[in-house]
C-alpha cells in the first residue's frame, strides 16, 4: 500500500490542529481545494474567499471519498452541531480543526517538502518571464537529471494555494524541484517561500505587473525579494544585472549573488552573443557550445541567460545546457509565432501573446515586432493591460509611444483602458491624415468586434505581413486567430511552420 503523504502526527503537528473525532491515524495521497478534484484518499482543504466558502462543498468531498478534511475553527464554532454530526456519521474520515485552512494547507505542504532534504529546490519569480524561465530550467534539468527525476510547477500553479498543491506532487525520488512563485497580494511570496525554502532562486525582473495592487515598483521588489529569504549560505540567487532594483533585492541574502545579462563579460558568464535572428530566435555560445535558442525576442534571450547562470552554478555541462535550451517549445499563449493562411489567401507571420500583459511585456513585444525585417506590413491588435490601478491611464498612453516608434501600419485597440492609447495616438498625430483608416478602437472584446477586426485585417492584408496580438488574458484575444484563418478549402499547400 502506498505511504500517506503525511501521517496523523506529522499533519497535526504541522497545522497545529486537532482531530474532531479523535482519529489516531489518517491516510491521503492527494490534496485538493476543489471538491470536484477529490478522489479516494484525498485531503480536502475548503478555502474561504471573498465570494465562496469552500466548507459548503464538504458533503460533495465526502461523497467523492475524501479521507481527510480540514475545517476552519471559526466555521466549526459557528455550526458545531452540524460538524459533530458529520464526523460521527463518517468515522472513516479524519476531520481536522485548524485556525485557518489556507495557512494549514501551506503548513502541511511545508512539512511535506521537509521530508526530502536532498531535493535541489529552485524557485522562480518575477513580474514577467517567470513561466518561460521555469520551462527553460525544466528543459535543462530534464537533460541533466532525466525526466523522472525532476518535479516542477505544472501550468501556472504558482499562487498561495497553487504552490502548496504543486509541491504535494513531489514523489520523493526526484533530484530537483523547479517551482514558480506568483503573487496577487502582500506577503504571498513570503508565505510560499516559507513552504519551499529553495536552495536556488531566480528573479526574472521587477516590473509593473500587479502595480495596481501593490502601489509601486519598490513595493513589488519588496515582495519579490522575499523569494530569496530562505536561500541558504551554500545556495545562490540570480537576477538581471541591469534591473534597477537588483541591489535592493539582494540585501541580506545569505547565499551567493549571481547577476546575469547580455552586458556580463564572457570571462564571467561563459556566454558570447552571436546573432539575433529575429523570428528564428537567438544564436549564442556558452563554453564553446553554439546554442540556437528558438524563442524570439531579447527578453527571452535574457531569460535564457538566467538559466545558463543557474546551470553554471550547478556545474551542469555546457552540452547539456545546449540540448535543454534548444529543445524548448513555446509556452502556450506566450509569444507563439507561426505562419498562418488568412481567409484572404495571404500567408502572414502571426505572433500571439495573449496569456498576460503589463507595460513591460507589452512594450518589449512591440519593440521586437517593430525591429522585425519583414517584407509586408505590421498589424497590431492590442488589448487592455489589467491590474494597473491608478497607473493604468498613463501606462496605456505610453504604449502609444511604442506604437509610433514601431512604425506600425495598422493598429486595432480593444478595451476601455486602450481608449487612452487611442486618444494619445490621435493627439500625437500618428498616421496623421490616414489615422481613421489605420487606427481602430473597440470599447469591448465582444465577438462582434472581433469579427470586425478579422474582417478588416483580411481586407488589408498582404503576403508576408506581421500580425501581433497582445493583451491581458481576460481580453480573450486568442478568439481572433480562428476568425482570421482560412482552414476550409485552401487553394494552396502550407509551407513549413504554417498552420491553418
How many CB atoms are located within 10 Å of the residue 437 CB? 10
- Would you state the pLDDT for residue 495? 47
The model's pLDDT over 63-110, given as tens digits with 9 standing for 90+, comes to: 999 999 999 999 999 999 999 999 999 999 999 999 999 999 999 999
What pTM was computed for the model?
A: 0.85
- Would you state the pLDDT for residue 337? 86
Tell me the average pLDDT across 210-230. 87
| C-alpha torsion angle, residues 305, 308, 313, 319 (rounded to 10) | -160
Q: Output the nine-digit C-alpha cell for 230.
A: 530562505
Tell me the average pLDDT across 350-379. 91
Place of cell 508565505: 191
Query: How far from 456 is each of 381, 437, 473, CA to CA, in Å?
Result: 12, 10, 23
- Contact predicate 47/33, CB 8 Å: yes
- Would you state the pLDDT for residue 422? 97
Give 60-105 as a DSSP string.
HHHHTTEEEEEEEHHHHHHTHHHHHHHHHH-TTSEEEEES-HHHHH
The model's pLDDT over 272-285, given as tens digits with 9 standing for 90+, comes to: 999 999 888 999 99
d(CA 38, CA 61): 6
Q: In the chain, count of helices (H) and strands (E)?
A: 20, 21
Label residue 40 exposed, middle or buried (CB < 10 Å: 0-12, 13-18, 19+). Answer: exposed
How does residue 331 score in pLDDT terms, banded at 50, 70 and 90?
A: low
Tell me the average pLDDT across 40-55. 94
Q: Output the nine-digit C-alpha cell for 30.
A: 492527494
- Would you state the pLDDT for residue 335? 76
Give 196-249 as a DSSP string.
H--SEEEE----STTHHHH-SHHHHHHHHGGGGTT--TTSEEEEETT-TTHHHH
By C-alpha distance, which of 446, 388, 450 is closest to 420?
388
- Would you state the pLDDT for residue 332? 61
Amino acid at each position: 500500500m502506498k505511504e500517506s503523504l503525511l501521517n496523523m502526527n506529522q499533519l497535526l503537528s504541522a497545522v497545529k490542529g486537532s482531530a474532531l473525532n479523535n482519529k489516531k491515524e489518517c491516510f491521503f495521497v492527494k490534496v485538493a481545494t476543489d471538491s470536484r478534484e477529490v478522489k479516494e484518499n484525498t485531503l480536502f482543504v475548503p478555502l474561504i474567499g471573498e465570494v465562496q466558502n469552500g466548507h459548503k462543498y464538504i458533503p460533495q468531498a465526502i461523497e467523492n471519498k475524501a479521507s481527510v478534511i480540514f475545517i476552519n475553527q471559526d466555521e466549526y464554532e459557528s455550526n458545531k452541531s452540524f460538524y459533530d454530526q458529520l464526523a460521527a456519521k463518517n468515522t472513516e474520515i479524519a476531520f481536522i480543526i485548524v485556525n485557518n485552512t489556507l495557512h494549514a494547507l501551506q503548513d502541511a505542504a511545508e512539512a511535506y517538502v521537509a521530508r526530502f532534504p536532498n531535493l535541489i529546490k529552485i524557485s522562480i519569480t518575477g513580474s514577467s518571464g517567470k513561466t518561460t524561465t521555469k520551462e527553460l530550467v525544466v528543459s535543462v534539468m530534464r537533460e541533466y537529471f532525466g525526466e523522472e527525476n525532476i518535479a516542477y510547477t505544472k501550468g501556472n500553479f504558482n499562487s498561495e494555494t497553487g504552490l502548496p498543491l504543486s509541491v504535494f506532487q513531489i514523489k520523493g525520488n526526484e533530484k530537483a524541484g523547479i517551482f514558480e512563485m506568483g503573487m496577487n497580494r502582500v506577503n504571498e511570496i513570503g508565505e510560499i517561500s516559507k513552504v519551499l525554502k529553495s536552495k536556488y532562486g531566480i528573479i526574472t525582473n521587477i516590473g509593473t505587473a500587479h502595480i495596481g495592487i501593490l502601489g509601486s515598483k519598490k513595493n513589488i521588489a519588496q515582495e519579490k525579494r522575499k523569494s530569496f529569504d530562505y536561500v541558504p549560505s551554500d545556495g545562490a540567487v540570480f537576477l538581471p544585472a541591469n534591473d534597477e532594483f537588483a541591489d535592493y533585492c539582494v540585501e541580506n541574502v545569505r547565499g551567493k549573488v549571481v547577476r546575469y545579462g547580455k552586458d556580463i563579460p564572457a570571462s564571467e558568464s561563459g556566454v558570447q552573443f552571436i546573432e539575433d535572428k529575429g523570428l528564428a530566435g537567438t544564436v549564442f555560445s556558452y563554453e564553446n557550445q553554439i546554442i540556437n535558442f528558438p524563442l524570439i525576442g531579447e527578453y527571452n534571450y535574457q531569460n535564457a541567460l538566467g538559466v545558463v547562470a543557474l546551470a553554471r552554478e550547478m556545474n551542469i555541462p555546457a552540452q547539456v545546457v545546449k540540448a535543454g535550451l534548444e529543445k524548448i517549445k513555446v509556452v502556450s499563449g506566450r509569444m507563439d509565432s507561426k505562419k498562418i493562411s488568412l481567409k484572404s489567401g495571404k500567408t502572414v507571420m502571426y505572433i500571439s501573446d495573449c496569456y498576460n500583459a503589463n507595460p513591460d511585456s507589452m512594450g518589449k513585444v512591440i519593440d521586437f515586432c517593430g525591429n522585425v525585417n519583414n517584407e509586408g506590413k505590421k498589424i497590431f491588435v492590442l488589448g487592455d493591460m489589467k491590474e494597473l490601478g491608478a497607473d493604468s491611464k498613463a501606462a496605456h498612453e505610453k504604449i502609444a509611444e511604442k506604437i509610433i516608434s514601431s512604425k506600425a501600419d495598422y493598429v486595432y485597440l480593444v478595451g476601455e483602458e486602450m481608449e487612452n492609447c487611442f486618444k494619445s495616438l490621435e493627439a500625437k498625430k500618428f498616421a496623421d491624415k490616414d489615422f481613421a483608416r489605420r487606427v481602430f478602437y473597440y470599447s469591448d472584446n465582444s465577438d462582434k468586434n472581433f469579427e470586425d477586426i478579422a474582417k478588416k485585417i483580411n481586407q488589408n492584408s498582404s503576403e508576408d505581413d506581421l500580425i501581433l496580438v497582445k493583451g491581458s488574458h481576460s481580453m480573450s484575444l486568442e478568439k481572433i486567430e480562428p476568425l482570421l484563418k482560412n482552414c476550409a478549402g485552401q487553394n494552396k499547400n502550407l509551407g513549413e511552420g504554417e498552420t491553418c
